Structure 1
Amino acid sequence: MKKILFLFIASLLLQSCDDGDIIVTTFNFDDAELKNCGGVGNYVFYKVNPDALESLSLRLGTMDSIYKPSGTRVFTLNGTSNFVNYRTYDGALGTSYFCSSIPPTSPNVTVDYIAASGTVDFVVTFVYDDFDGLPTDSEESGDTDGDGLPNIYDLDDDGDNVPTVRELDDGVPRDSDGDGIPDHLDPDDDNDGVLTRDEDKDGDLDPTNDVTDSSVGPDYLNAAVANDYDINRYRVHTYKIYKSVNITLKNLVLVKGEEEITQETINMGAIENVEIKDKTIRPEFLP
């Protein structure tokens, strides 16, 4: 089940010194959405305040996928490959201003600060969806069937080759044999001594279509039929990974000529589902 990330982006109050004068500038990006474009070698994240004709942008020149590992990575700003810009303009920005392969000629930049130092906390969060009909936070922890896929992204939690979603009644776990173990966690759904996975006469890795007595239903739910066909493969599993990011700038020093703006922390915000990956795998069968 996908989760929704909520974020609050505070107005940024920055101070700089120029020949002893204190310049106070309010960057108002409260209502600005954090957006992104680019890819390996040129990742771009930016926010635009169209009312004040200003932008705050981050470029990361890393040559690997920044969305692949979950957790926190820290990037150092160096003013060249990794840098932050605060800019103001003499006109409105087009929708492709930050993402165009050809640098735009307008609007003109009227103020341009670039980060000479600081760090970026880049937090990547993964949310898995195996479409098994169960909310992620209600699934059993661990790997019930030992197939190497945690229950949160295992579409067949008990490894019986019957997808979990087919072992629910309107989203409620079913217990066909009344043994106190719900079918989606019970490897022997009719308690006849033969594993559900092995009651697959045609060997197509789908026990639901093997029926000896149509008045009862599939053999794996018919305790009177207990034929063991020794199935030693799992069906192919698919799931999605929804990746979200949260970006925080720390100890930022923005420079324009002799002027410097320092800020201890700037929360640029978050992007939900910045990358979505489809995964397909056949778990290894371990007898």
Structure 2
Amino acid sequence: MRRLLFGIFSLSLLASCDDGDIIVTDFDFDESRIEFCDGPNKNVFYAINNDGVFESISLEYRNNELPIDDEGNLVPPDPIDEENIINLDDQNNRIVYRLYNGEIPTGSNSYFCSVVPPSQPRVVEEWVSGSGAFARITAGYTDETGDVDADGDGIDNIDEGWDPDGLNHQDTDSDGIPDYLDEDDDGDNVLTSVETSSSIPLNDAGVRDTDEDGILNYLDSDDDNDGVPTRLEVDPEDPLEPTLQVSTELGPDYLNPEQMPRFEHDQYKENVITRTFGFRILIEELQLTNQDGSGETQRFGQTYNFGNYNQGTVEVRTCPSQDPDCGEPESEEPTNAN
């Protein structure tokens, strides 16, 4: 496995002003957890290692480089995959590697983002980036894997036709929203999570396929096969709620082939899901200088993968292509003030 920082120098070293010993640590950055803190004068991405050797690596930058909210959390850009470039120097925007004489506190941001860091542990060696390097920070959704349920409907991405190459995602209702990001896979205005829940009884085959046509309810636009699409079996007062149209004690009309109310409309529910996102951090042209006054430098000859920071969640709202204005309130007629 790849080692962090100085362990990698033995493989990627281009130049050094000193032929002295190379520091080798056991800090494997690929498996470390990147943290973030919002300080009064700077923001910091950092990772620490207390396993055998006490060390940290951090990316410090001016707190106006990336937007944060009132709670000190990073805000995803729009579009989500927009890249931010931070030019590094040895003052405000910089990479810092440190060795300490003791264990680094965990679970607290006080060390990395306080104006005056604690006196312990004491830094025994420090290397800092100079001018010429830059950080490429790109946000992205972190729920793009097969074993995650990105739309929160109870079905993993891979089981909703998620394509790992991102080219041919399944889109059952052809609404422009792939099933793995669609709350309503079949576009019938009944959420997938409802159509797969225990509120829908199993048929004799032990599946939720009310009309037994071989198409599970959550993928079937006419769940009871009565010739009326599920989304039209509604009360005109609630055109987006087929589940509320109940004429008999047998349950919703859209699951009862004997009940066939029909209200023509072209309205679809807005698709609202909560996605997880984070930031990928790459460092280009990285060179570090020992701060002991020796002037010793170490330089990377390739892009340095600082790591990934998982920020949190963000609400994503979209409309199906059949009703692109689904989330907008209907305009009201202007009133005459006279």
Scaled by the length of structure 2, the TM-score of the pair is: 0.68
- Checking the alignment, whether the CA contact within 8 Å between 1:38 and 1:99 is kept in structure 2 is no
- The alpha-carbon distance between structure 1 residues 28 and 67, as it changes in their structure 2 partners (threshold 3 A), is farther
Does 2:19 align with 1:21? yes
User: Where does residue 38 of structure 2 map in the other structure?
Assistant: 38
Cα distance, 1:199 vs structure 2: 0.6
Aligned to 1:26, the other structure's residue is in SS state coil
The amino acid that maps onto 1:63 is: L
* Structure holding more strand per residue: 1
Cα distance, 1:229 vs structure 2: 1.4
User: Where does residue 4 of structure 1 map in the other structure?
Assistant: none
Give the Cα–Cα distance (whole angstroms) in 2 for the partners of residues 89 and 73 of structure 1: 33
Give the Cα–Cα distance (whole angstroms) in 2 for the partners of residues 9 and 36 of structure 1: 23
User: Where does residue 327 of structure 2 map in the other structure?
Assistant: none
213, 226, 235: which is aligned to 1:192? Answer: 226
Segments of structure 1 that go 5 or more residues without pairing to the other structure are 1-7
Residues paired across the two proteins, number: 277
- The alpha-carbon distance between structure 1 residues 242 and 260, as it changes in their structure 2 partners (threshold 3 A), is same
User: Where does residue 274 of structure 2 map in the other structure?
Assistant: 240
User: Where does residue 206 of structure 1 map in the other structure?
Assistant: 241
- The alpha-carbon distance between structure 1 residues 133 and 251, as it changes in their structure 2 partners (threshold 3 A), is same
Give the Cα–Cα distance (whole angstroms) in 2 for the partners of residues 196 and 77 of structure 1: 55
- Checking the alignment, whether the CA contact within 8 Å between 2:61 and 2:92 is kept in structure 1 is yes
Segments of structure 2 that go 5 or more residues without pairing to the other structure are 68-73, 144-148, 162-168, 325-338
Does 2:192 align with 1:164? yes
Aligned to 1:227, the other structure's residue is in SS state coil
Aligned to 1:21, the other structure's residue is in SS state coil
Q: How does 1:233-272 map to 2 (within 5 A)?
A: 233-256=267-290, 257=293, 258-265=295-302, 266-271=304-309
Cα distance, 1:105 vs structure 2: 4.7
Q: How does 1:1-287 map to 2 (within 5 A)?
A: 10-11=3-4, 12-13=6-7, 14=9, 17-18=16-17, 20-30=18-28, 32-38=32-38, 42-50=42-50, 51-61=52-62, 62-64=65-67, 67-68=76-77, 69-71=79-81, 73=83, 75=85, 77-79=87-89, 80-94=91-105, 95-107=108-120, 108-116=122-130, 117-122=132-137, 124-126=139-141, 127=143, 129-140=150-161, 141-168=169-196, 174-201=208-235, 203-204=237-238, 205-215=240-250, 217-256=251-290, 257=293, 258-265=295-302, 266-271=304-309, 273-280=310-317, 286=323
- The alpha-carbon distance between structure 1 residues 66 and 250, as it changes in their structure 2 partners (threshold 3 A), is farther
Cα distance, 1:70 vs structure 2: 4.6
- The alpha-carbon distance between structure 1 residues 23 and 17, as it changes in their structure 2 partners (threshold 3 A), is farther
Cα distance, 1:158 vs structure 2: 1.7
Q: Deviations over 1:135-159 (max 9, x none)?
A: 1111142543344533222111122
Give the Cα–Cα distance (whole angstroms) in 1 for the partners of residues 319 and 19 of structure 2: 66
The amino acid that maps onto 1:259 is: E
Aligned to 2:243, the other structure's residue is in SS state helix
| Coordinate RMSD, CA, aligned | 3.5
Cα distance, 1:123 vs structure 2: 5.0
Greater shift in the superposed pair: 167-176 or 44-53: 167-176
- Checking the alignment, whether the CA contact within 8 Å between 1:115 and 1:252 is kept in structure 2 is yes
Cα distance, 1:162 vs structure 2: 0.9
Q: Deviations over 1:196-228 (max 9, x none)?
A: 11111253322123222324x321122222221
- Checking the alignment, whether the CA contact within 8 Å between 1:54 and 1:87 is kept in structure 2 is yes
- Checking the alignment, whether the CA contact within 8 Å between 1:9 and 1:268 is kept in structure 2 is no
Aligned to 2:272, the other structure's residue is in SS state strand
The amino acid that maps onto 1:83 is: R
Give the Cα–Cα distance (whole angstroms) in 2 for the partners of residues 59 and 146 of structure 1: 45
Greater shift in the superposed pair: 224-233 or 153-162: 224-233
Give the Cα–Cα distance (whole angstroms) in 2 for the partners of residues 137 and 60 of structure 1: 38
Cα distance, 1:91 vs structure 2: 4.5
Scaled by the length of structure 1, the TM-score of the pair is: 0.78
